């Protein structure tokens, strides 16, 4: 029942996003533009707003899935790829290639950067005898994120003017000037990785019970963990490549999705997180384009403004329970 409401909200936001903007379109114009290919709405909808909306949907869903994978693996709501510095690492790799004049596909670059960041954080946070404490992981990841962000700011200085302006916008998280090429760039790897994740839902369910129990039930816990983490990094990278390191969507999507749908099992929570991630990103983009007349704010600014209070509330709640 509540799943229906979530999907309905998503559809309503998508329709709203297509009609609202510098040029306001009525629903008939929208319909005509989408299916008829002519009329006042055609150009706006087909070239400008539809690809942007689809990129927002795809990137949001990917981030939601990635966040939930890590939150479930670490059994901690704070262990999301943005807090742990993976998104900053992915962004740094894309910028570094740009500054070095390499022309590789952005999704590959961001995946490489994200993977490197994940390996670095895991290696740095690991302590003999204690393993990977989730909170140290988050804290070390935060430090890596600071470092990568500083290195990105450093590299921005090296880029020539026009590229620097575009990169500056992208590095805060932005959906400006997204076309159909970007839609393919996020949806194709996103769908492939989501399918890969669907196959691993059982492993994730078992791992949630604890490594010992999972091993007892016939799972090779270490390997399954690595495969799931790699899939999560891939999903995160697909989103970062097209939308930049958007803050806090991966963090919020899982808990929001579960709260809205009441999902319990790992598979259901993943599906809910994908929908919620898309919902958050669409809503933030709608606000980014329409909050101020004549100014389009960066998407990452809006998700930051949404996510930070949520995270502060979450922190104080966890603390009351004595979990931090």
Q: Which residues bind other proteins (CB under 8 A)?
A: 78, 124-125, 127, 133, 135-136, 138-140, 142-144, 146-151, 153-154, 157-158, 172, 247, 292, 295, 297-298, 301, 304-305, 308-309, 311-312, 315-316, 319, 324
Least distance to other proteins, CB of residue 151, Å: 6
Q: Is the CB of 5 or the CB of 315 nearer to other proteins?
A: 315
Cα separation, 41 vs 25, in Å, equals: 7
Q: Is the CB of 19 or the CB of 152 nearer to other proteins?
A: 152
Tokens at 22, concatenated: 């510098």
Q: Is the CB of 42 or the CB of 96 nearer to other proteins?
A: 96
Tokens at 118, concatenated: 């994940």
Q: Is the CB of 106 or the CB of 307 nearer to other proteins?
A: 307
Least distance to other proteins, CB of residue 310, Å: 9
Cα separation, 166 vs 192, in Å, equals: 29
Q: What is the three-class DSSP state of 25? A: coil
Single out the residue of 186, 207, 239 nearest to residue 70, CA to CA: 207
Least distance to other proteins, CB of residue 98, Å: 15
Least distance to other proteins, CB of residue 170, Å: 15
Least distance to other proteins, CB of residue 316, Å: 6
Cα separation, 87 vs 78, in Å, equals: 14
Q: Is the CB of 267 or the CB of 304 nearer to other proteins?
A: 304
- Looking at the DSSP assignment, which residues form a beta bridge with residue 295? 292
Least distance to other proteins, CB of residue 142, Å: 6
Least distance to other proteins, CB of residue 291, Å: 9
| Phi, psi angle pair for 3, to nearest 5° | -60, -40
Q: Is the CB of 148 or the CB of 283 nearer to other proteins?
A: 148
Q: Is the CB of 19 or the CB of 303 nearer to other proteins?
A: 303
Do you know the residue count of the chain? 324
**Contact between residue 80 and residue 67 where contact means Cβ atoms under 8 Å apart:** yes
Cα separation, 141 vs 106, in Å, equals: 22
Helices (H), the chain: 2-19, 27-31, 41-43, 50-74, 86-100, 106-125, 134-156, 161-171, 180-199, 201-208, 211-216, 221-243, 249-261, 266-290, 299-320
Cα separation, 50 vs 296, in Å, equals: 17
Least distance to other proteins, CB of residue 313, Å: 9
- Chain-centroid distance of CA 264 in Å reads 22
Q: Is the CB of 61 or the CB of 256 nearer to other proteins?
A: 256
> Environment class of residue 130 by beta-carbon count within 10 Å: exposed (0-12), middle (13-18) or buried (19+)?
exposed
């Amino acid at each position: 029942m509540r799943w229906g409401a979530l999907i309905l909200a998503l559809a309503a936001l998508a329709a709203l996003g297509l009609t609202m903007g510098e040029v306001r379109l009525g629903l008939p114009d929208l319909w005509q533009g989408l299916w008829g290919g002519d009329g006042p709405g055609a150009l706006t909808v087909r070239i400008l707003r539809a690809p942007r909306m689809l990129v927002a949907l795809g990137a949001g869903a990917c981030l939601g899935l990635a966040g939930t994978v890590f939150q479930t693996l670490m059994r901690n709501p704070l262990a999301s790829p943005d807090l742990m510095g993976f998104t900053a690492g992915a962004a740094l790799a894309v910028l570094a290639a740009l500054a070095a004049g390499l022309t590789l596909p952005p999704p590959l670059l961001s995946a490489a950067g994200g993977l490197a960041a994940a390996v670095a954080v895991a290696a740095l946070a690991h302590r003999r005898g204690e393993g990977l404490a989730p909170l140290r992981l988050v804290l070390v990841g935060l430090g890596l994120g600071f470092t990568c962000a500083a290195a990105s700011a450093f590299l921005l200085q090296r880029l020539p003017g026009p590229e620097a302006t575009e990169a500056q916008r992208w590095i805060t998280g932005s959906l400006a000037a997204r076309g159909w090429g970007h839609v393919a760039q996020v949806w194709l790897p996103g769908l492939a990785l989501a399918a890969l994740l669907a196959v691993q839902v059982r492993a994730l369910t078992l791992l949630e019970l604890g490594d010992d129990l999972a091993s007892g039930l016939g799972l090779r816990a270490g390997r399954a963990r690595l495969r799931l983490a790699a899939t999560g990094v891939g999903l995160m990278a697909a989103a970062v490549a097209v939308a930049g390191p958007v803050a806090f969507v991966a963090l919020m999507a899982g808990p929001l999705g579960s709260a809205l749908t009441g999902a319990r099992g790992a598979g259901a929570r993943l599906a809910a997180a994908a929908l919620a991630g898309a919902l958050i990103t669409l809503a933030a983009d709608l606000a980014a384009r329409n909050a101020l007349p004549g100014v389009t704010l960066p998407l990452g600014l809006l998700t930051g403004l949404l996510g930070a209070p949520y995270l502060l509330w979450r922190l104080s709640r966890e603390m009351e329970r004595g979990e931090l």
